[in-house]
Structure formats: structure tokens, C-alpha cells
Amino acid sequence: STVQTITVEFVLPFKVSGQQSITRDVQGTLSVDQVWNSFWSDVMTCTMDSECYVIITAPPDSYALYYEAEGRTYEIYDRQQIFQTLDCVRRWGTRGFSPGRILVRERPKPTPRGQRFQEELDYLIGAKVEALCLAGDDELEFTRRRLAAVRAAELERRDPFAYALEPWVASQPPAAYLEERIAKNGGLLDITLHLASRQQSIQVSPKDSPREIALGFFSGVYGHNELLRHSEPEHAECFVFKVCGRDEYIQGPYPIVDFVWVRRCIKKNEKIHLAVAQLQDVAAEETEDDWPLLDNCDGATGTAEELSLWRSDAGQLCTLSLWDCNRFLRVNVRGIEFPPGVALCPQGGGGGGGGGDAEVYVQAGVYHGKVRLASVMTSKRPLQEEIVWGDWLEFGIRMKDLPLGACLNLSLYSVRSQSCCDRRWSGLLPSGSRSLEARLLHYVNMTLIDHRSLLRQGEFVLYMWPLQQGQRAPDPSALPSGANPEQERAAVVSVLLDTYDCPVALPRSQAGVFHMPERAKRFFAEGSVQDEFLKHLVNVDPLSPVEAPELALLWQMRDSLSRTAQSLPRLLRAVDWGSLECVRETHGFLQHWSMTDFDLSIAMELLDGNFVDGFVRRMAVERLAASGNDEILLFLLQLVQALKFEPYHDSPLARFLIQRALRSKRLGHFFFWFLRSEIAVCAQSRARFAVLLEAYLRGCGRATLHNFVQQVKLIDSLRIVGDKMQLQLGNLYNVPPNGAPIAPCPPLLRTRVHLHICACVCVPLYVHTCAYTCACIEKCKVLASKKKPLWLEFHRADSTSLDDSNVKLIFKNGDDLRQDMLILQTLNIMDSIWDSEGLDLCLLPYGCIATGYNTGVIEVVPNAHTVASIQVEKGGIPRNEGYLKTWLDEQMPLAGQREQNLQAVEKFMHSCAGYCMATYVLGIGDRHNENIMITKNGNLFHIDFGHILGNIKKFWGVSRERVPFVLTPDFLCILGAHKNKNLYFQRFVDTCCRAYLALRRHKNLLITLFNMMATTGMPEVTPRDIEHMREALVVRATEADAEAHIRSEIEHCIDKGWTVQVNWWMHLL
């Protein structure tokens, strides 16, 4: 923007020469810091009241600048901001205010209460937020303060009633099989209402809302009111329906059939029990005092027209446009230094002193997402404590073409010279590799355009991340920008970028208007060979390689591709993100796409690491905003991972997730635990996630915060108990295979659990359940397993619960449960896919949540037994395949046994088909008789997903698994198909085919979800492993060929089913 002179009245907290305020003309090109220092110098030279002398001799940094607008107070926080681009200056100009008024106030000092609150937040987060901010650049603190405005706006909109009594409703219409079951009941739902010890059954229409049901109930529509004596319908406003035994409410303007709990009951053929609860006054949850809102700095850079060098008044410009910089980007890697005690080679094979014959070089690359825009490398130098280069390296990309989010990756590689024979360096190279193969040692990323949209200039000292022993080399594009906060133990690289006389800014688009050059639009004729090939390119899965000529064709025919939403991810892969013209044109045609009409899977693909363009990711977030909370929760695990792909801490996705978490306690619960576990595991993203989690916790409310504190204390106590048990019990395995306890009720467990569990506590695994009372200590035990997991039982605290059994959980200490979480979440997604296809495959994705580094909680499914325990019950190694069918028959009561037996077989058939297809597509291995379970009503399910995506467990180097999924003669016997393939078996095969083809139709979603998890560091979730899923889904085959493929796989499993039985028998020995 051009130079302005702004008249400003500074209102002081003291008098200067008898005046409370001083008016000055301010040159708009100065920074806020320059304006303040100049003004303060003037103040210090004036005559001041003696009584104020002590106050004003305080350093200028002890004061902050504020202004008032629309009844709110805003802080001018960013001292580097150009003064005339402040939002307050824009407001003054728009409204004709002259002079503008700035309030000078002493910065508020930390209070004991505020410090205690921050300590409480740090405990919940698992990291000290302020220390992380001090260790990094000012982007973290800036993000921390900017998110206060997001939080304040959400809290202002939040409805206390909806937040406290959140209705959990489904976004999609009921599945076809649910509607069929309702139709068989005369098109009505049977509901039992409870009040104290009384109950009454009513029938309602599935389209009735809770309020309509309440009005009908209290007005006597459903017959004589046995629960209450009220007869006037207005009494309905005083009550709310609550799911018996759960902290889940049925309220709001939704059809009763849209509530998730109601659909669950219909699906499981269970009765719907609701408690009639007296509605209490709901007050907003108390939140702590927050920071002042910040000045909106969106106008910091100006538009391309305002910053252009070709303006008539260009000599007055205070900021240059990056688009006017036509020179090539270059970097000077000055050198790398290893502080004392830092290993030169973190993987081993050298360190401490000199580097022997090993040589190192720095690979410098410019990345935009997973696209490498340019790359250069230094010459090789001997590996030693201090390495000096100092040469300028020029990239093959011009400055003007740098897109927002472009990242500079610096990676230090080592390589042995051909004459090297020193064993100390053998650890640098993988076994069997050639002598000159490079090995990554240290790495760091830095955005070239900062969070203010200003080009980085000058010298930077970056603390690098080491590649640890056993850690696979990360994809540079998957690394978040930011240096290693552990500066004392990090290698340091010094780099120099070109400097300019003034700030260089990436221009912002003016009101979202993009001027696209006129050109002839190209289309292929519908049905032509070219059109069919184009459709093929559009429909390839996200990991299918697309060659450069094919990408060129996609870009050339971009007008034709704009017909379908499915083509957007493919088209964006063809964009040259290192070309200003291509990027501007892409933003131009994206304005005409409406993301609300897109499938949610498209939005998830756009949030993957392939696309870091802010305009694209903002479109994806717009599609998420149109989704219900149930859909957001379904994909929350991946959405949290997608935060790692954001080039900046403050992003539309981060804001969206915080807003939704503050709006929904259920989403907030899992948002808290997903982020907390990542903070404990992922050092590179720790600072970002800590700031985002703090932003949520400051607004979730005092009661919710207290609940989180109790949960974290419980987990900490159980972890201590687990550590003690592993030390005390050692390697004791002399226990039955069904997992009998080896140390029932240890005194340490009793003491610790009683010490840290108050009267009631909510377990991290659940948010919808009411609080539990203290643990049933006499039934808690340590299980027979290498890591000594703890079996825990809790009493139910809710007086409306109709289930008097204990809640059973398993606490694991020493196992990474993130992989189990991923598989169980995927099973939930598969279940929703099959629901949309009218398939009920009776999956049982039990609860599982990672709570920190190698700790977590697992739900115990009631009334379920492992196949191994059934085999033991039947005498050990079974002599015939009918033992499972006999056991299942024995679980049925005598009354109505035949009907219930048929229902059990039906449930077994559907669940077996579902898990066969799920385990096949997910490549789940190590399927033995102790991790396959069956409930008393015939529902088969799998547990313990330690080996996935084709990673098969081997014994002495030989694979014990000869089939793609488990379909043994034991299972076929229940289906009555052991000897002959009857109609029941044919239904099973047809169900498998329908389930498999349904998953193939959503292959892009499944592949994308796993690809987004590849940055977690889980050893069996890598891009190479995900290839197994592509192969299992035969992504390039036609639907007919895919059906033939899965039928042949079923036949193969039947033929080789005896090999599974042999493995099971060996497992029992």
C-alpha cells in the first residue's frame, strides 16, 4: 500500500505535562514497534508529574497498545506489523475517525490464579506450552493469541442447553434394513419410558420428534399416564428424555429415528428404554478470563495492485510484492555445528570425535506438499563437529513463483567414500547396500513465507531433528515446519537467504476476485476414446502413479474435468504449483466449485499431504462444515493427523476442529485424547498440538476441565501400577490360556486406584456413559501377558441404569494402541459403508483409545469368549468341527430355542462375512484362536490387531498363515456347509461379495484414510504397506473381475482352512 500519514491520539495511564493524552502524526510505513519507540522517546523528554515519575520510567515493553471498536477492546499485539495495515487504521478511515485513538495500558501481570490455571492446562496437555513457545519462533505465541478470537466467538454462540444435553443424531437417512424392521412392527417404534421405579410402554411414529412424543405422552395420547399425574401438555417442557444408564439425551427438533442410540437399538433388536428426567436449569459452564482480542491483521500485505512496482507512486511503497521479484531463489548453507555431547550419527556407527572416512552433504529442497519444486545440494565435507560450506546455491524456481506454504527442507546426509573400511561407519548404511548410498542423519523444515505472508530474509539458525536408530527416513513433505525445541541436544544448521531493503510480501487476492486470462476452452466429445481415457485418469485411486504426460493431459483438459466433483483431486495433482500463472488460474476456476455438493471423501483427500494450498484446504474445510458431528467423529482420527500437513499453525482446519470441539462435548472428548496422545508420541508436532489443545481447553468449561483432570489422574495412576506389576511379576506365564489372573487384587492396585478415583469418574474410553463409582477392587487383576495388562471393573453410578453388571476395561501399558484404534475406526467406517448399501454385517468395533506413549484403554465386550477358551471348555484340541456349533446351541434358553438358534446362526453368518472381508482388505494377520471371539448370541468378531496391511507374523522365518482370511471348517459347520455347500452357505458367499464390492466403490476413501496415517510413525502403516490394500481391492479390475477374484479367494480359504486349524491346535499346546 502507499504511504499514509495517520493522526493518532495516544491515551496514557498517567499525565504528561498535565495531559492524559498526546496526539501525533504517524508515518504509516513504520512498524508498530517503530511508532511506539518513537512515541515513547517523546514522552520521556517531556515534563512529567513527579508522582508518576516511577511509573513512566518502566521499560516501554511493560506497556501494551489497545483500541476500542463496537464495544470490544482489541490489543495491537504484533509489533512487526506495518502501522497503516492495522485493522484499526482501516476502521478509522472507513468511519471518518480522526484522530484515531490508541489506549496505552500497563501489561497485566500474571496472577496466582492465572498461573495455577496454566499449570493445570500444562498437566492436561502433557507439555509446558509457554516453554514450547519460547523455544520456537513467534508464530506459536501469535497463533495462541489469535485463536482466542475463535474461542470467544464460539463461546458467544454456544447454547448452554445444547452443550450440556447434546443430542447425538445421524446425518444420513436410516439404512434400508432398519426401515424394513420398523415396517414389520407396523411402522411404529416401541419405547419404554422410566421414572423412578415405574415404567410405561408406548408406540410412536419414527418421524415424531422428542417434543411431539412428550406432548403426546403428557396429554394422554398414549393412554393412561402411569408415570405422572400431570394432564396438561405444557408440563412436557419441564422434562427431557435420557437414555437409561447413559449421559445421552433425546431432545431437539429431530425425528426420533434419527437419534444414533435409537438406530443402534433397532439394529441390535434391543428394546428402547428412555428415562423421563426433570429438566434442571442449565447454566453456561464457567470459563477462565481470556486474553484480549487481537487486531485483525488480514490487511498486512495488501493486494497485488496495491503493492505493484508499476504504480505511478511506486516510490512511496513500504512493502514490495513477491510477484515483482523475478530473480531465482537461492540459499547459502553456511555450515553445521554439533554441540558437545550430540552424536554426529544418531543411528550409531560414529559420533563424538572425528568422522573418519565418512563424508556429508546437505540436500536443500523446496516443497509444496508432496511436490518438490526445486532441489540443490552442497559439496561433500568430512563428518566432524563443525562443517563449513558458505556457498550460494541457486534453485531452479523464481521468487515470484513461490506459493504460500512453500517449505525449505534441509537434510544432512552421510556417505562413505569408496576407500572407507572403518567399522564405526557401518551403521550409516543399510545392510547389503552399496558403499556410496546416502543415509539421512538430521533434517529440518522452514516455511519460506512466514505466517504474516512475508518472505523470510537474512540469516537463520535452525536446530535440526535427528533420525534415530530404527526410525525410517521421513518424507520431507510430511514434516511440519519448525525447529527442534531441545536445542542443547540438536545439531545446528546456519543458512542465509537474500535480504531486501523492505519487507517482501505475498499479495493477497482482492475480495476473492481472480483475473483469468482469456483462452479457448477444450472439451473431448462424449464417449470418444480420449474422453474415456480422461475418465480413466480421473477415477484412478489416490496412490496410483500418474506419469508426466498424463498430468499434462489433465491440465490441458481442465475445462472438461470441471463437470464432475470426482475429478478435482486428480486435476489438482496436475497443477504446476511452482508457476504463479497456474496457481492463480487454479484459484480462479476453484471459485466456481461448490464443495457442499461434494462427497465427504473428496474433502478428506484434499486434506491429505498432497495439497497444502490454502485455497484448496479451505474448500475442503467448507465441506466438513456441512457435515454432522457424527461424520466428523468418524474421521476425527485422520483430521487430527491432517493438522500435520498444514504449513502454518493457525489454519482453517485447526479453527474448524476447535470450534466443533467447543460445540460438542463428545467431539471435544476425543479431540482432547487424540491430541494428547500425539503430543506424547510425536515430537515434531508437539508444539503445534499443544497450542491447539490449549485453545480448546481454555473454552471447554470448568466442569469439563475437571472431568479431564480426573481422567488423566486415573491414567497416570494405572500407568504407575502397570510399571510396578511388570517389575514385580517378571516373566510369569504359568496360567491357563483363557487369561486367568496371576496376581489378583495386588495391594498397590488397590491403593493407587482408591487414591486417585474420587466418588465418580468418567473413563477416557467413554464420554456418553455416566460417571462410574470407584473400581470394584476385588475383581481387578493383572492378566497373563508379556506387558501385564490390568483388568479393571467399575460400578455404574447412574441410577437410571437397567444393567447391574460392572463395566469391564483393560488398561495396557507398554503397547502402542494407535494401530488398534486405526483398525477399529476403519471397521466403524466400513460398517457405515455397508449401512449405506443396506447391509447389516453385525460388526463389533469395541472401544479403544490411546492415552499417551504406549498406554491406552480397551473395552471388554460382555458375554464373549475366545475360540481358544471354547476349545478348552470342550476338552482341548477338538476332534470334530462341530464344537463351536454345539457351544452356540448350549447358549440358547430352552424356551424358544429353535427361533433363537436360527437368529444366532443368522448373526454368525453376517458377522463372519463382514469380518472376512474386513480382515482381507485390511490385511490383518496373526489370526489365531485367542484373538477371534464369539458372543453368546452368535456374533463373531476379531480383536488384537498387531499385524496389519499384509505384515504377516513368521515363525523361524516361515509364514504360518496360508490363507488371506480365516474361514475354517469350524465356521462352515455353523453355516451347515461343512459337507455340502447349501443355500445358507451360498447366502454367505453372496453377502461376502456384496460387502467386498461395496468397499471397492469406496476404495479412494479407505486408501486416503490410511495414507493420512502414514505420518504417525506406526511401523506397519507406511506407503509401501498401503499397497497391500490396493492389491486386495484390485483397484484396476472391473467390478465383474473383482467379484470373480473374491469368490476365488473364498474357495482358497475353504480349501486351506485345515492349515488354520493346525495353527490353532499348535497355539493351544
**What pLDDT digit, counting tens, does each position of 284-307 carry?**
788 887 788 888 765 466 666 666
Does an H or E element contain 23, and which? Answer: strand 19-27
Does an H or E element contain 26, and which? Answer: strand 19-27
pLDDT grade for 511, boundaries at 50, 70 and 90: very low
The predicted pLDDT at position 420 comes to 46
The predicted pLDDT at position 770 comes to 58
Residue 1053 confidence (pLDDT) above 60: yes
Name 663's Cβ contacts closer than 8 Å, sequence gap at least 6: 154, 158, 163, 629
Average pLDDT over residues 780-804: 84
The predicted pLDDT at position 279 comes to 80
CATH of 5-106, one of 3.10.20.90, 3.20.20.100, 3.40.50.170, 3.40.50.300: 3.10.20.90
pLDDT grade for 772, boundaries at 50, 70 and 90: low
The predicted pLDDT at position 348 comes to 61
Average pLDDT over residues 963-992: 86
pLDDT grade for 1038, boundaries at 50, 70 and 90: very high
Least confident of 184-198, 218-232, 328-342, 963-977: 218-232
Q: Per the structure block, which three cell numbers stand in for 120?
A: 493445570
The predicted pLDDT at position 805 comes to 86
910 phi and psi angles, rounded to 5 deg: -70, -45
**What phi-psi label fits residue 115: left (phi over 0), alpha (psi between -120 and 50 degrees) or beta?**
alpha
Q: Per the structure block, which three cell numbers stand in for 386?
A: 563443525
Rounded to whole angstroms, what are the CA distances from 123 to 503, 684, 953? 40, 20, 39
Same-fold call for 5-106 versus 165-281: yes
Rounded CA-CA distance 814/816 in Å is: 7
Torsion from C-alpha of 862, 863, 864, 868, nearest 10 degrees: 130
Average pLDDT over residues 342-359: 62
Residue 48 confidence (pLDDT) above 60: no
Residue by residue, DSSP assigns 199-257 as EEEEEE-TT--HHHHHHHHHTTTTSS-SS-----GGGGGGEEEEETTBS-EE-SSS-GG
pLDDT grade for 501, boundaries at 50, 70 and 90: confident
The predicted pLDDT at position 495 comes to 97
pLDDT grade for 550, boundaries at 50, 70 and 90: confident
The CATH superfamily of 325-343+358-417+437-501 is: C2 domain (2.60.40.150)
pLDDT digits (tens, 9 = 90+) for 431-484: 333 445 788 999 999 999 999 889 999 999 999 999 877 777 777 766 777 888
User: Which CATH architecture describes the domain 863-1068?
Assistant: Orthogonal Bundle (1.10)
Residue by residue, DSSP assigns 1008-1035 as HHHHHGGGS--TT-SHHHHHHHHHHTTT
CA 68 to chain centre: 37
Rounded CA-CA distance 252/248 in Å is: 12
CATH class of 701-807: alpha beta
Do 385 and 338 meet the contact criterion of CB atoms below 8 Å apart? Answer: yes
Average pLDDT over residues 246-258: 94
| Percent of all residues in the chain with a pLDDT value above 90, rounded to a whole number | 49
Rounded CA-CA distance 1003/996 in Å is: 10
Place of cell 491515551: 11
The predicted pLDDT at position 425 comes to 39
The predicted pLDDT at position 872 comes to 86
3-state secondary structure of 661: helix
Q: Where are the chain's structural domains?
A: 5-106, 165-281, 325-343+358-417+437-501, 701-807, 863-1068
pLDDT grade for 412, boundaries at 50, 70 and 90: very high
331 phi and psi angles, rounded to 5 deg: -140, 145
The predicted pLDDT at position 148 comes to 92
Q: Per the structure block, which three cell numbers stand in for 319?
A: 512493502
pLDDT digits (tens, 9 = 90+) for 563-586: 677 888 988 999 999 999 999 999
CATH class of 165-281: alpha beta
Higher pLDDT, 753 or 852: 852
Q: Using alpha carbons only, what angle is made at residue 106 by residues 102 and 110, rounded to the nearest 5 degrees?
A: 135
Higher pLDDT, 591 or 704: 704
Least confident of 216-225, 1048-1057, 1058-1067: 216-225
The predicted pLDDT at position 1010 comes to 96
pLDDT digits (tens, 9 = 90+) for 218-251: 776 665 555 555 445 556 677 899 999 888 999 9
Rounded to whole angstroms, what are the CA distances from 766 to 248, 763, 777? 12, 6, 20
Residue 127 confidence (pLDDT) above 70: yes
The predicted pLDDT at position 54 comes to 41
Task: Give whichever of 445-459, 552-566, 894-908 has the largest mean pLDDT.
Answer: 445-459
The predicted pLDDT at position 431 comes to 39
Does an H or E element contain 6, and which? Answer: strand 5-16
Rounded CA-CA distance 144/694 in Å is: 8
| Cα–Cα nearest to 704, from 67, 251, 155 | 155
Rounded CA-CA distance 167/666 in Å is: 10
pLDDT grade for 427, boundaries at 50, 70 and 90: very low
The predicted pLDDT at position 281 comes to 62
Average pLDDT taken over every residue of the chain: 84
Higher pLDDT, 255 or 873: 255
pLDDT grade for 60, boundaries at 50, 70 and 90: confident
pTM: 0.92
pLDDT digits (tens, 9 = 90+) for 909-935: 999 999 999 999 999 998 888 999 999
